[in-house]
Amino acid sequence: MTETLLLNVSSSNQSENKSNSTICPDLNNWWEIVYYILPKYIDTICVIGMLGNAFVLFVYSLHKGPLKIAEIYLMNLTVADLIFLMCLPFWTKNIRNEFNWPFGNFLCRSTSASLSLNLYTSIYLLVAVSTDRYLTFVHALNHRGVRSKAMAKGICLLAWFFGTLLSIPTFTFRTVKHFPLWNISACTLDFPTPSWAIAERVVFNTVGFALPSAAIIFLNFSTICTLKKTAREQRALRAKCSKGHKSTKATRLIFTVVLMFLLCWTPYHFFVFLDILHKKEVIKGCFWEELINFGEQFGYTLATTNSCINPVIYVFVGKYFRQKALGVFSQFIPCGFPLNWLSFKEKSLYLNTFPIRSSLT
């Protein structure tokens, strides 16, 4: 999918299966399961994710109050997820067609580049928001020049630019190529030499995941340690800092988003790493070919889940996001609308936001 030659291993395996069935068993039945299950799962993810991320974007865009620095990063992450999800229907159709691409060369290139853009942009936005939390709690930096909304917007633009730059090879070398042996025209990465293919996978695996993930883990681990130390000191002094409590709740949301991103994307990149070893002939054999091919397909399917799970996290973990959502939708709630389903604090927020309406009810 994103940076994977969707046909590469499966095609070679089918050829090898025909020539040496005793070594490489025929797995056509397993591929039939892939063609049946994966599109249904991805379509479900696509519908849920587009509705959820549209809801998040709606709340952030219409809320009257200014966005916080962390929310600027999360809003850009939502946009990246929406771009990613809008491209998925093309790939589900591609899988149903057994990788026979029906949409032409431009959509082959543009959708592939958009999927690549999502990965690079998302992970570097998470690096940025993790850095912001790190500077806030570990180094207690609140200087206007270091942590400002203008700086956050500039960093977001830089993340989009960097993601676009890293997606150029995908847009350049993706093409619809006909494979007479299987009578299909696949949307595939067609590099000039095999060394290009290996280099692309190495960049994708290291720059697109390993290095930023290491930074994310370090930054969040340091922040967690600092928060725990601060909590112990506050308990020892029997002091309660409401501001710190609010910041901790906001940080908990960031931690959850980061954790889910790593859990969803790590399996796929693990199989990408195995594919690099296979291309370099560090590991050989039919077993590894089949494992890598199936692993990449199902690993990427798991990765798509990340784009629909963030809105769920915002609702269930992000208390302040729920308050923002309440503030937005209360503009459209008619007078006398029952508020029994709201918590006491959220109900109070609603009434304080609209004092005239509260006096009428």
Question: pLDDT digits over 130-180, tens only?
Answer: 998 888 888 776 555 567 888 999 999 999 999 999 999 999 999 999 998
Q: pLDDT at position 8, please?
A: 41
Regions of the chain short of the pLDDT cut 50: 1-22, 242, 244, 336-337, 339, 341, 344, 347, 349-361
- 186 vs 10: CA distance, rounded Å: 12
Q: Where are the domains of the chain?
A: 8-317
- Can you tell me whether residue 188 is helix, strand or coil? strand
Question: What gap in Å lies between CA 159 and CA 127, rounded to an integer?
Answer: 10
Please give the pLDDT value at position 17: 39
Asked if 346 and 123 touch (Cβ cutoff 8 Å), the reply is: no
What is the model's pLDDT at position 181? 84
Q: What is the pLDDT of residue 146?
A: 65
pLDDT tens for each residue of 285-316 = 888 888 888 889 889 889 989 988 988 888 77
| CATH placement of domain 8-317 | 1.20.1070.10
Sign of the torsion angle spanned by Cα atoms 85, 86, 91, 93: positive
Whole-number pLDDT of residue 238: 60
Dig out the tokens for 138 from the structure: 């570990």
Give the model's pLDDT for residue 330. 76
